[in-house]
A and B are shown apart, each in its own frame.
Chain A
């Protein structure tokens, strides 16, 4: 039965995810095609730069929207009229929630992979774009191709991977990201259970929420410290991101705010309409 639930959930939530993933891939392709043009003039430069900027912002939007989509999917399928269908199926409440959890994890992972791929595309296409500018335009904006890495992502890995210490830090960062996804999904599941008809969680909603907020903040802090370590490890990342990321606390505010924002958003979305009670 779990396999059937997974199939159903994956297809249903895919209706939300597929469009943003296709959108991300589509924008990546458009930027790639534009960056391959020869003698790019002023007319094409502005839209190309705007699309490049979009490529940089898009992965964050995708990750954030991905989490929102999971919350919306859980809320809609369990706590609106559609919940009558799922709760009347001959499966346990635990299977229902496990299916939502695994589906959410799968889509978030796909989302992360596409988002990471978009960064690689952004780095590569920016180099191509500058390289293919008309000579006059390149001179007028002062683009120096010798200082520019052909592919920032591969440069980053080339600089990081030879050192065992760096590999350990990257591993720790990846672990922190995985933990953060896991905890965010757990938070959604726990909130789902607290507002649903699973008895042990119906009481102490606030306590459960608070514990998960604390856990998420802890992971966010670990992530922040590790990211700052990675950035300081290589001359390339220091050159690319400079002093803006040097103080850990400044950098730490972003994931902390994201975590807190997601916590309250999740809470609000899940409690917005509960018709089964």
Chain B
């Protein structure tokens, strides 16, 4: 299987605190990969490295054979776990901004999704609820026809129906050959969606395998997670 992301000897630390140590990994193209691990294990750091948010790391990271930079950012769509729109910005302005910078952004689809969400294009971000803001951000990211989607906790802190909306939006809008790296703690709910599972912790990659292979061994992701990261009371 072709690999989209190639990571070699990647290390990242914050001062004296090391979160990733010499990890090497190839992420296959066309898969939905679940990124799992306990809080503070480096999931978000890995995502920030892949999306070019931080580059003070050592090692080599290539996406589609290219170092992280303007090109990789043009093929990577990133949904951070924080709202990144200015409060004064309205939906129309946000869509315009994405359309301006991303050649692969589908404006018509964005307005269709906006209408489906019953959001007024003139509505400002500051006038939206947190849930609505999250949906707008997801809309902006998923209206890009990207090769690689990096989604940081898109299901965190939302109710079950919103969770369903988010998953439907992600799965219904991704190009078939695209890769999704999605971090979550909702392992039980997501097992059916993931093609592969990536577990990181203790600065290392502890598990990277296809879900089908794991299930063939009679294991569920939920039980594996508890096995890899046992609770120490």
Nearest-Cβ distance from residue B33 to partner chain A, whole angstroms: 19
- A8 pairs with B84, CB closer than 8 A: no
A166-200 contacts to B (CB < 8 Å): 197, 199
A257 at the interface (CB under 8 A from B): no
B163: CB under 8 A from chain A?
no
Size class of the B contact interface (CB-based, 8 Å): 20 to 34
Given contact pairs A88-B73, A92-B69, A202 touches B101 in the complex (Cβ within 8 A): no
Kindly list chain B residues whose C-beta atoms are within 8 Å of the C-beta of A83. Answer: 53, 84
Q: Is the CB of A199 within 8 A of B55?
A: yes
The yes or no answer to A143 lying at the interface (CB within 8 A) is: no
Asked whether any CB of chain B lies closer than 8 Å to the CB of A85, the reply is yes
Q: How far is the CB of B167 from chain A (nearest CB, A)?
A: 22
| Cβ 8 A contact of A85, one of B48, B54, B74, B84 | B84
Point out the residues of chain A lying under 8 angstroms from B100, CB to CB: 4, 7-8
B11 within 8 Å of A (CB atoms): no
8 Å CB interface, B55-82 against A: 55-56, 69-71, 73-74, 76, 78, 80, 82
Q: Determine whether B175 belongs to the interface, using a CB cutoff of 8 Å to chain A.
A: no
Interface string of A197-220 (1 = CB under 8 A from B): 101001000000000000000000
| CA A82 to CA B80, docked complex, whole Å | 11
Q: Which residues of B contact A4 (CB under 8 A)?
A: 100-101
Q: How large is the interface on A (under 10, 10 to 19, 20 to 34, 35 or more residues)?
A: 20 to 34
A-side contacts of B84, CB under 8 Å: 81-85, 88
Asked if residues B82 and A81 are in contact (CB atoms below 8 Å), the reply is yes
CB within 8 Å: A-B pair count = 63
Q: A91 to B71, alpha carbons, bound, how many Å?
A: 8
B contact residues around A275 at 8 Å (CB): 82
Our pick among A81, A88, A89 for the contact of B83 (Cβ within 8 Å) is: A81
Q: Give A194 Cβ to nearest chain B Cβ, in Å.
A: 12
Give Cα A199–Cα B54 distance, bound, in whole angstroms. Answer: 10
B186 near A: Cβ within 8 Å?
A: no
**Residue pair B69, A276 in contact (C-beta under 8 Å):** no
Residues of B within 8 A of A197 (CB): 53-56
User: A85 CA to B84 CA in the complex, in Å?
Assistant: 6
> Looking at A1, A4, A7, A277, which has the most chain B CB atoms within 10 Å of its CB?
A277
B30 at the interface (CB under 8 A from A): no
Chain B CB within 8 A of A37 CB: no
Interface residues of B in 72-99 (CB under 8 A from A): 73-74, 76, 78, 80, 82-86, 88, 97
Q: Is A90 an interface residue, CB under 8 A from the partner?
A: yes
Pair B73/A199 contact, Cβ less than 8 Å? no
**Residue contact A15 to B88, C-beta cutoff 8 Å:** yes
- Contacting B at CB under 8 A, from A57-82, are 81-82
Q: Is the CB of A88 within 8 A of B86?
A: no
Verify if B145 is at the interface (C-beta below 8 Å from A). Answer: no
- Choose among B70, B76, B85, B102 the residue that contacts A92 (Cβ–Cβ < 8 A): B70
Residues of A within 8 A of B188 (CB): none
Please, how many angstroms separate the alpha-carbon atoms of A198 and B100 in the complex? Answer: 25
A277: nearest residue on chain B (CB-CB)? Answer: B54
> Are B101 and A89 in contact (CB-based, < 8 A)?
yes
Q: Which of A1-19 contact B (CB under 8 A)?
A: 1, 4, 7-8, 12, 15
Give 14 CB contacts A-B under 8 Å. A4-B100, A81-B80, A84-B53, A85-B85, A87-B51, A89-B73, A90-B70, A90-B73, A90-B101, A91-B70, A92-B69, A197-B53, A197-B56, A199-B56
If A15-B88, A89-B73 are given as contacts, then 12 extra A-B residue pairs at C-beta distance below 8 Å, sorted by A number, are A4-B100, A82-B85, A82-B86, A85-B84, A88-B52, A88-B73, A88-B76, A89-B101, A89-B102, A90-B101, A197-B53, A276-B53
Give residues in A with beta carbon < 8 Å to B. Answer: 1, 4, 7-8, 12, 15, 81-85, 87-92, 197, 199, 202, 275-277
The 6 tightest CB contacts between A and B, nearest first, are A90-B74, A84-B84, A85-B84, A90-B73, A81-B82, A84-B80
